[in-house]
Structure 1
Amino acid sequence: MHRYFATKEDMVIGPFETNGPRVSDELIKRPADEPIMQSLHGAYAAMITRGPHRSRDRAAMRLLASTPSLRARNTEKHMVWAELLTPIVAERLEGSDSPLRASVLVQTSLSAFQLALMAWADDVQERTILELIDVAFGDFEAGRN
């Protein structure tokens, strides 16, 4: 196992690490005047459509959800993603405190994205990841509480 991966956590999380720059690139492509959560939703969805979604991906998500060291490593990965996404979002915000507001929006979107992936792993209706990402972001985009 350690021949190809530095740690067992990298074996599960590592393949997804390269998605941070992909999400960032997709976010940059989004219209600058688009609502921020809609742009983040679109960036995650575009990144997801690039990869296959196999049964082993579901198993990896279940493992991630049930293993504290994997959850911790996944949080580290999301912090790296946040460092990429937050400046892009901050540039699109008007008004004061844009770095803080951007950070809140990005962290909220990362949580919604992660929860959609975990819901997909256990979804008995076998909806697609994109369908569950739409559900996770739906209330934000509709302005509902």
Structure 2
Amino acid sequence: MGNAAAKTATGGMRDVARRAVRAEIAAKAMELFLDQGFEETTVNQIAAGVGMSGRSLFRYFDTKEDMAIGGLVELGHDVAAALEDRPADEEPWSALRHALEVCVESLEGDEVGLRRAKMLAGTPSLRTAMLDKQLRWQELLVPHVEQRLRGSGQPQTLQARALQARSLQARALVSAALGCLDVAATVWTEVEGGRPLTDLVDDAFAAVRS
């Protein structure tokens, strides 16, 4: 193995190890958040739970909020992959709804999903942090939606304006879809999981489309 290949392999192993440590920290943090409350849990308690110092913890996460919602960035990549895999001729709004089922399954398939959703919805600092994560999701999803929006064959002189309009439409669709998911998740916590989250997301999407 050459030097370049060896460095690449070493870097890859470090990335895997780093992700594993991040996952361990996030799991312990979420356990404490759900048991004690987000605000009541200290960084030092989380650090003690994974056998490291509080200073070391911030080598992996910028803030305590990141420990609670850092996984949402990775989930956003999963949604983008699901969107890319939808049939090419499926209209964007429907494709977005199907792709967001990844999020529904992530919450409903987790035995503490409802409790996690309640914590996220009821903690102001986490709500703010989630807005930042949603902006990152938009960056991931908008290009896929733009590809699904058909061009209208305008003359070359109008091409830039057409592309701008398509970008605006894609951003609006993605923003609305993520808003529907957020509203549905909030209602899901309010009804204590009494209705399936997937049905609530369907209702929210239908309300916007009607």
- Tell whether the structures are fold-level matches, with TM greater than 0.5: yes
Summarize the Cα distance change of 1:125–1:68 in structure 2 as closer, same or farther, 3 Å threshold. Answer: closer
User: What do residues 20-55 of structure 1 show as CA deviations (whole Å, max 9, x unaligned)?
Assistant: 01000000111122121111000011443356232x
Aligned to 2:186: 118
Structure 1 window deviating more from structure 2 (91-100 vs 105-114): it is 91-100
Is contact 2:114-2:192 (8 Å) kept? no
Partners of 1:13 and 1:50 lie apart in 2 by 13
Is contact 1:61-1:121 (8 Å) kept? yes
Partners of 1:60 and 1:134 lie apart in 2 by 21
Residue 63 of structure 1 and its aligned partner are, at CA, apart by 2.1
1:86 aligns with 2:142: yes
Summarize the Cα distance change of 1:125–1:6 in structure 2 as closer, same or farther, 3 Å threshold. Answer: closer
CA RMSD of aligned residues (A): 2.0
Structure 1 window deviating more from structure 2 (129-138 vs 116-125): it is 116-125
Aligned to 1:129: 197
Residue 17 of structure 1 and its aligned partner are, at CA, apart by 2.6
Give 1 or 2 for the bigger CA radius of gyration: 2
Aligned ranges 1:1-145 → 2 under 5 Å: 1-2=46-47, 3=57, 5-49=61-105, 52-54=109-111, 56-94=112-150, 95=152, 96=162, 97-124=165-192, 126-140=194-208, 143-144=209-210
Give the aligned residue type for 1:138: A
Residue 5 of structure 1 and its aligned partner are, at CA, apart by 4.8
Partners of 2:202 and 2:113 lie apart in 1 by 19
Residue 127 of structure 1 and its aligned partner are, at CA, apart by 1.5
Number of aligned residue pairs: give it: 141
Give TM-score scaled by structure 2 length: 0.61
Q: Give unpaired runs (5+ residues) of structure 1.
A: none
Aligned to 2:3: none
Partners of 2:70 and 2:183 lie apart in 1 by 19
Structure 1 window deviating more from structure 2 (86-95 vs 122-131): it is 122-131
Higher RCO (C-alpha under 8 Å, 6+ residues apart): 1
Is contact 1:26-1:47 (8 Å) kept? no
